[in-house]
Amino acid sequence: MPIPSRAALADHLVRSRIAGDVATPRDNNLSHYRKLANGDRHYWLGLELGDRWTDEQDVLAVMAERCGVNDDPSHRQGQDTIDPELTIDALERMAARLRKAADAGERVLFATGHPGGLLDVHRQTAAALRAAGCEIVRIPGGLFADEGMVFQFADVAMLERGATLWHTHSPAPMAAILDCFEHQGTPLPDLVVADHGWAGCAGQRGLDAIGYADCNDPALFIAEAEGTLQVAVPLDDHVTDPRFYDPMTAYLLHAAGLDTTAV
């Protein structure tokens, strides 16, 4: 995979609709912002937001600043946007944290609630960190959450239910992993790379956490604004072809100075 320039990556993100005019409808975004502000914990993604975000307009303002959605509260229908420049800025912040992990030989845990879109992004990143000397954390066997099994495939923790990799926003699978580590006396990861409630739960537990978030998942951007999450990369987290993420992953790993020949 050739390493795209910043301009070429921005163009690719827009053409593939990872950013730019994304598929997520505006009314869906606003509904999620409202539900977060109304205290619906499903939309808190494992974070404890207290009463700090009870105004959906404050949530919209954060999303406009950090994700690039339309900041006009009167825009209520049609499509919404993710600013590709904000996506690349966040990828570069993520790359800096990955470089720190590689330099220190950190123990890193990968997890995804969006295996249909982001599994291979995480897998390639895990392979590059292992090649650089990091330990990719293995999760214990026999873990269950949300009526499914928490297991690891291609170095990435996921939820499996009925022989199917499960799309989940829940923090419960990550909580099951971290609780088991603590019960067994296993050191917690130095870094968690994840998305959805997997990332939110890790950040809320005080771990260094970085991850990806769609424009209808405001909690992780709020967590970054508050310092609970170190990086939230804005993107559409399930585009029509997971191979569309390959140029983005190549750019990320190159920016981190990681060896991509092993991935």
How far is residue 19's CA from residue 9's CA, in Å, rounded to a whole number? 10
Measure CA 257 to chain center.
21
Q: Is the pTM of this model over 0.85?
A: yes
pLDDT in tens, 201-212: 999 999 999 999
Strands 209-213 and 231-234: parallel
pLDDT in tens, 49-90: 999 999 999 999 999 999 999 999 999 999 999 999 999 999
Domain ranges of the chain: 1-262
How far is residue 76's CA from residue 191's CA, in Å, rounded to a whole number? 37
How far is residue 225's CA from residue 221's CA, in Å, rounded to a whole number? 6
pLDDT in tens, 7-34: 999 999 999 999 999 999 999 999 999 9
